[in-house]
Amino acid sequence: DNIAPFADYQKALAAVINTPLYSFDMNGRHYDAGFVIHEADTGKWFSWNDDLSKQQIPALNERQLFGYLAASIKALNARIEKLEE
């Protein structure tokens, strides 16, 4: 219900740029670049389930992730448009 425009594209770009990516092996598969979930990532790209009484694995917050990626593209587009003037 509380919907407001998000326009801090530079903040989103900084968050994406500062997100560490790792190469790793998991369950017999190799991943060239991906997230490794740490406690500090909860609330950024990951969130806990509603039931905090059980051992949980953080879930990817797809809305937040997509929003930050889209806002990052907008920030880069603004920079490109400035260079093209």
Digit-by-digit pLDDT tens for the chain (85 residues) are: 789 999 999 999 998 888 888 888 888 989 887 777 666 666 666 666 666 656 666 677 788 889 989 999 999 999 999 999 9
* Sheet strands (E) in the chain: 22-26, 29-34, 46-47, 59-60
Tokens of 4: 């407001």
**Cα–Cα separations (whole angstroms), residue 82 to 27, 31, 39, 64, 71:** 46, 36, 38, 27, 17
Phi, then psi, of 29 in degrees rounded to 5? -115, 150
Q: Which residue in the block uniquely carries the two structure tokens 């917050």? A: 61
pTM of the model as a whole: 0.71
